[in-house]
Structure 1
């Protein structure tokens, strides 16, 4: 194995080095690129598995804990918000203290927070521990990309990220099935407990196999003010969007939080251009491909995560499917991602990212517009076509945009680049869930009274009408009082489902428009021009 002493310190070049003179694993195991890939994939798989498991479990959590739509959104948004606020700082921690250490801390913390969620007895505690999950996930995710960036040479990085993406796709595919089985045959708490054995396995592999690789020019100090300004800016932005449906967009509170966010972003940019070791070096954004890759990741996650949030409610509450059947219905989406991710990595290595990414976002747009046509009578065949197309479009973006961001960043900023990539994805997902949720709530609020009147149903008191709207936002008809005529029960169910579907259709149309914009952004991407790391034998 050859080394680059200009990049990796001498002690980190030795695969068997453990420090302190201890006898480590034989040379070739610790720090081997492919074993590094396998190890970090297990840790990241835990996070990916959690995402889709929670999507399947949301209806059960909502019913068991009596949560509102806003509460269920916060189970998702609290997690995404914590990730978004923490990721870039966590990436800087990895650059400073080593990606191996931050990865292992993230694995332990994520698994522990998952167990705590399973033991929580209220929706408030579930949201609190989901926030902790997000913080520890923020330590884990950029560290995984930083380890790959430092372990693989440039010509193999796309292939590695392609396999990494396939593992995420496999975990995403397993989530709905495992989650459905656990929710249906055990309880919703068990979907969080499953992270404990996965985390334990990732921890053991990490302790034995991971080698800490650090660039000589890694940061030696922390930009505390930058951390505060960026955290405030991101929090206020997402908070304002989440609360806007309740407060209204023109409300002084909404405008106030948006104004604070804007001022914090301006202050952050001003400070970062002057501090000696910035949290997020603005010079990175002189790279047009890196900037385009970041924007592309935001737009992709906006449509994907925002749309997926409503799909589980559509399948279970409108379609009447069990959690297991809902997971099986989503299999074309996640299964296509498994197959397409490594293929996309190979194609991007040969032809570059631009053409595949533009084509992928066009396919994603077609899938989103197709999903907007679903209704209560849509069968598995038509929905499977749109889900499969969506997976086919998303896979190249997950691989290609990641390589564009990480590959165009200097090695000493590998953790920050990994944090930027993940932050872009989580901010996009949080914004997508919030904005498309607002679109859904607004459309349901407009459609429900009109459809109620058209069905010639008796007027409701204001309090009952508000409760009906809340139920319609998740596609669930409220239980009818004893003795209610069957005609009234059936008509109410149709009104609720039709209102929900109308809102979901509008949300998918908005997501499709965002995907079209993303296709235009993808034109500005290109492959990374920086060396990926040490020349190692692989």
Structure 2
């Protein structure tokens, strides 16, 4: 009798609920750490006098660490068991949160974010395996829906909670707020999660592969994040790109030659898994992109307070809470593309609405758009996860659960960093077009605007000698604001196009999965009945 069977015998059917609550607590606590610090970033920047390039490491380091440790998590569970892995990662996360909250300098807070990111990556495969362990195959759709809710809900919830914390308390509280949840999760994990079943020696970890992958991802993210500021042809950027390329080639060469690789590349020979990985990579980039762009837009263009920005995400949080259980039930009954493709099109439309936003867009309009985006958060990951992993042969399922999460997180990392670079580039381009090309004596509209702004300056007591110069300054500031607005609109439009593109691999994943099921049923029917 396995430990899980023994616990079912001890606690009865409620054991499934106990495990679900246990892993959800950890997922919500660590998931909130992804975006809750984003709300506090301007305050952290001011507290330590960080430059824009230094602030970027708060997210770049976190995302790189999260992405790589997703692949290490299966080894940790094999070596130490679910219980020790789950409890250990939460203890390390608590220590990192205390380090971040008590930071006295830039290095400490960046180190805290990297460690937080590493533990956030470890917990996801642990949680998914724990859920699959207690949910039978016919209820795996509900299990993946619960898991998907724990990916999206904390991100929106963190924006709400973080807004209140930085407004009414201090930025340091964003590191402390989830610690009580972590403590409860540790206590429940000690009781309800199984220990290591194997009695043999612990498997070896592919440290070389893990290190090379981390360095490669970190180098590429750093190059993309800083290319606009350092110039793309600078020696630093070229070195980072070379490190990323060489590391990736070495990793692809190295992994198949290992007895226990951190990523078995054979999983990508299954076309359903490959399609699912593409879906979650692109969807991760789009979703994390919206979660980056929207708060920045509300802060820099609409001048919303952190509390107001947080309130805007409240309806989308409620949408997730309502839709996820519904999607979980439908996921086991309907073809996946009936759920995911309409949700992706709705999200693409909602993001297109964001691409029309400017400084006159209402709070209600943004709230509606974000709520529509939440439908995709609830409806896309569950069927994608379940179909992708179910298509793998049994020996690769352990690798698949880590790799599919890796694809989602990697897409989020690259999506966020690419949008940062896009904003910098498009802002500079639009600024040049508006100010340097549009503000000329031959442009009657610009000249009339300068005259009107000069009249405004005159009403404030500006001398007649300086009124035209004051008008030019005011017009330049307005042009700079509009350049930023246009850059955000470009960013949202790119995300909308990306969501529309995701419908193609999402549809293929569903059709290929259904074809595989039909083939399996036909083969089973053709087999002679045993006596």
TM-score (norm 2): 0.84
Of stretches 319-328 and 398-407 in structure 1, the one that deviates more from structure 2 is 398-407
Counterpart of 2:370 (choices 367, 387, 403) is: 387
The Cα of 1:450 is off from its aligned counterpart by 4.2
The Cα of 1:403 is off from its aligned counterpart by 2.1
Counterpart of 2:428 (choices 445, 454, 460) is: 445
Counterpart of 2:490 (choices 491, 499, 506) is: 506
In the alignment, is the contact (CA less than 8 A) between 1:113 and 1:129 conserved in 2? yes
Pair 217,286 (structure 1): closer, same or farther in 2 beyond 3 Å: farther
Pair 164,266 (structure 1): closer, same or farther in 2 beyond 3 Å: same
The answer to whether 1:207 aligns with 2:190 is yes
The Cα of 1:279 is off from its aligned counterpart by 1.9
Q: Which residue is 1:477 aligned to?
A: none
CA RMSD of aligned residues (A): 3.1
Counterpart of 2:415 (choices 413, 424, 432) is: 432
Pair 408,54 (structure 1): closer, same or farther in 2 beyond 3 Å: farther
Higher helix share: 2
Of stretches 361-370 and 63-72 in structure 1, the one that deviates more from structure 2 is 63-72
Q: Which residue is 1:470 aligned to?
A: none
Q: Which residue is 1:50 aligned to?
A: 33
Pair 168,260 (structure 1): closer, same or farther in 2 beyond 3 Å: closer
SS in 1 for 2:31: helix
How many Å separate the matches in 2 of 1:186 and 1:30?
43
The answer to whether 1:142 aligns with 2:134 is no
In the alignment, is the contact (CA less than 8 A) between 2:63 and 2:117 conserved in 1? yes
Q: Which residue is 2:529 aligned to?
A: none
Deviations, residues 465-488 of structure 1 (Å, cap 9, x unaligned): xxxxxxxxxxxxxxxxxx999867
Counterpart of 1:364 (choices 330, 335, 347) is: 347
Deviations, residues 308-327 of structure 1 (Å, cap 9, x unaligned): 21221221232121111111
The Cα of 1:155 is off from its aligned counterpart by 0.9
The Cα of 1:196 is off from its aligned counterpart by 1.5
In the alignment, is the contact (CA less than 8 A) between 2:60 and 2:413 conserved in 1? yes
The Cα of 1:214 is off from its aligned counterpart by 5.3
In the alignment, is the contact (CA less than 8 A) between 1:143 and 1:418 conserved in 2? no
Pair 163,90 (structure 1): closer, same or farther in 2 beyond 3 Å: closer
Pair 229,51 (structure 1): closer, same or farther in 2 beyond 3 Å: closer
Q: Which residue is 1:114 aligned to?
A: 97
The Cα of 1:252 is off from its aligned counterpart by 4.8
In the alignment, is the contact (CA less than 8 A) between 2:94 and 2:182 conserved in 1? yes
The answer to whether 1:123 aligns with 2:106 is yes
Q: Which residue is 1:323 aligned to?
A: 306
Deviations, residues 230-260 of structure 1 (Å, cap 9, x unaligned): 3333233323222322333344543443343
How many Å separate the matches in 2 of 1:109 and 1:406?
29
Of stretches 401-410 and 177-186 in structure 1, the one that deviates more from structure 2 is 401-410
How many Å separate the matches in 2 of 1:339 and 1:361?
18
If asked which structure has higher relative contact order (CA below 8 Å, sep 6+), I would say: 1
The Cα of 1:491 is off from its aligned counterpart by 4.4
Q: Which residue is 1:222 aligned to?
A: 205
How many Å separate the matches in 2 of 1:216 and 1:407?
28
The answer to whether 1:296 aligns with 2:298 is no
How many Å separate the matches in 2 of 1:111 and 1:492?
47
SS in 2 for 1:523: helix
The answer to whether 1:101 aligns with 2:84 is yes
Of stretches 520-529 and 368-377 in structure 1, the one that deviates more from structure 2 is 520-529
SS in 2 for 1:276: coil
Of stretches 60-69 and 195-204 in structure 1, the one that deviates more from structure 2 is 60-69
Q: Which residue is 1:460 aligned to?
A: none
TM-score (norm 1): 0.82
Of stretches 335-344 and 399-408 in structure 1, the one that deviates more from structure 2 is 399-408
The Cα of 1:168 is off from its aligned counterpart by 4.4
Counterpart of 2:6 (choices 14, 38, 58) is: 14
Aligned ranges for residues 410-429 of structure 1 at < 5 Å?
Answer: 415-429=398-412
How many Å separate the matches in 2 of 1:120 and 1:87?
26
In the alignment, is the contact (CA less than 8 A) between 2:355 and 2:490 conserved in 1? yes
Deviations, residues 148-206 of structure 1 (Å, cap 9, x unaligned): 12222211111122123334444334322221111111011111111211111111111
Of stretches 334-343 and 208-217 in structure 1, the one that deviates more from structure 2 is 208-217
In the alignment, is the contact (CA less than 8 A) between 2:27 and 2:124 conserved in 1? yes
Counterpart of 2:231 (choices 223, 233, 248) is: 248
Structure whose alpha-carbon radius of gyration is higher: 2
The answer to whether 1:497 aligns with 2:489 is no
Aligned ranges for residues 83-98 of structure 1 at < 5 Å?
Answer: 83-98=66-81
How many Å separate the matches in 2 of 1:126 and 1:109?
15
Q: Which residue is 2:521 aligned to?
A: none
Q: Which residue is 2:61 aligned to?
A: 78
The answer to whether 1:340 aligns with 2:332 is no
How many Å separate the matches in 2 of 1:428 and 1:208?
35
Deviations, residues 316-342 of structure 1 (Å, cap 9, x unaligned): 232121111111112233332222222
* Structure 1 unmatched runs, 5+: 4-9, 17-25, 458-482, 531-538
* Structure 2 unmatched runs, 5+: 441-462, 518-531
SS in 2 for 1:32: helix
How many Å separate the matches in 2 of 1:213 and 1:359?
42
The Cα of 1:390 is off from its aligned counterpart by 0.9
Deviations, residues 14-70 of structure 1 (Å, cap 9, x unaligned): 228xxxxxxxxx812799222111100000001222223223222333344433333
In the alignment, is the contact (CA less than 8 A) between 2:81 and 2:194 conserved in 1? no
The Cα of 1:405 is off from its aligned counterpart by 3.7
The Cα of 1:423 is off from its aligned counterpart by 1.8
The answer to whether 1:524 aligns with 2:508 is yes
SS in 1 for 2:488: helix
How many Å separate the matches in 1 of 2:395 and 2:367?
43
SS in 1 for 2:117: helix
In the alignment, is the contact (CA less than 8 A) between 2:31 and 2:120 conserved in 1? no
How many Å separate the matches in 2 of 1:109 and 1:299?
30
Of stretches 133-142 and 181-190 in structure 1, the one that deviates more from structure 2 is 133-142
